[in-house]
Amino acid sequence: MFIGFPEETLRFFLDIRFHNQISYFEQRRQDFIRDVQTPFYDFINELAPRMQRIDPQMEIRPYKCLARIRRDTRFTKDKSPYRDHLWLLFRRGGEPREQSLNFWFELGPDHLGWGMGFWGENRQVMDRFRRELAARPEEFQRVLAGCDLSGHHLALAGTAFKRLSLPADLPAALEPWYRARELFVVRENLQFQWIYSPQIVERVWKDYRALAPLYKLFRGMADEVSLENNDL
């Protein structure tokens, strides 16, 4: 049962930030399991059955959803072996992380966030989305109205094409969506004290549920792109 993240979760992240060595982590391994991994797993388990209501194919096994604290340092200049924060992803089982459509939650000493979108740039899906948006903008407006993003303090984020030509009759409110290069929607107006209460599950679920129509829209496009690629 999830009862909130303990203060020790953030304390562990801070400790590993300043003592980022394998020997130190091994001395604190049981602290990591108790104070970080277990509350994250409990948090995932609380959300898991609800996430499968959004998508029955959603991966919900905690060890598959939670990022590893050990970093892959093979292709980076930063050779620090451990992360000082963690995130979890709810995405289709068996799909690679890159370009996947997912619901995410991230926690560290300096950051709390959650939302929904693609991991990085998914050019094929976004190109299809732009074609659909140009052809039927009113349909996407209905989806957005059903999500009530502003009412849930959710906002479009990610990089955008600055010089992309816009369809002549595209409503102004849809221009940021049309220009989106990588797309994700994030929760704004967060308060860190929320993490210490079990009610954060309800806060996160309320926003995930609001984003479900957007997820299903982009999930459908991603599935169509995947089928087309398999037919080539």
Question: Domain containing 206 — which CATH number?
Answer: 3.30.930.20
Contact 93, 58 (CB under 8 A): yes
* DSSP per residue, 69-110: SB---TT-S---SB-SSEEEEEEBTT--STT-EEEEEEEETT
Contact 218, 132 (CB under 8 A): no
Say whether pTM exceeds 0.85.
yes
pLDDT one-digit tens code per residue, 77-87? 889 999 999 99
Residue 232 confidence (pLDDT): 59
- Residue 107 in domain: yes
The tokens for 209 are 């549920």
Domain count, the chain: 1
**For residue 6, how far is the Cα from the chain centroid?**
22
> Coil, strand or helix: which one is 184?
strand
- Residue 118 in domain: yes
Hunting for tokens 């194919």 — which residue is that?
Answer: 57
pLDDT < 50: residue spans in the chain = none
- Residue 16 in domain: yes
Number of Cβ within 10 Å of residue 165's Cβ equals 7
- Residue 1 in domain: no
Residue 222 confidence (pLDDT): 94
- Residue 106 in domain: yes
- Owning domain of residue 199: 7-231
pLDDT mean across residues, the chain:
95
Residue 227 confidence (pLDDT): 86
- Residue 98 in domain: yes
- Residue 2 in domain: no
**For residue 118, how far is the Cα from the chain centroid?**
8
Contact 176, 160 (CB under 8 A): yes
Strand partners, 87: 106
- Residue 50 in domain: yes
Residue 37 confidence (pLDDT): 98
Hunting for tokens 């991603």 — which residue is that?
Answer: 222
Question: What is the C-alpha to C-alpha distance for residues 115 and 105, in angstroms, rounded to an integer?
Answer: 7
Strand partners, 70: 82
The single-letter code of the amino acid at 117 is G
Residue 122 confidence (pLDDT): 93
Number of Cβ within 10 Å of residue 136's Cβ equals 11
Question: What is the C-alpha to C-alpha distance for residues 144 and 150, in angstroms, rounded to an integer?
Answer: 10
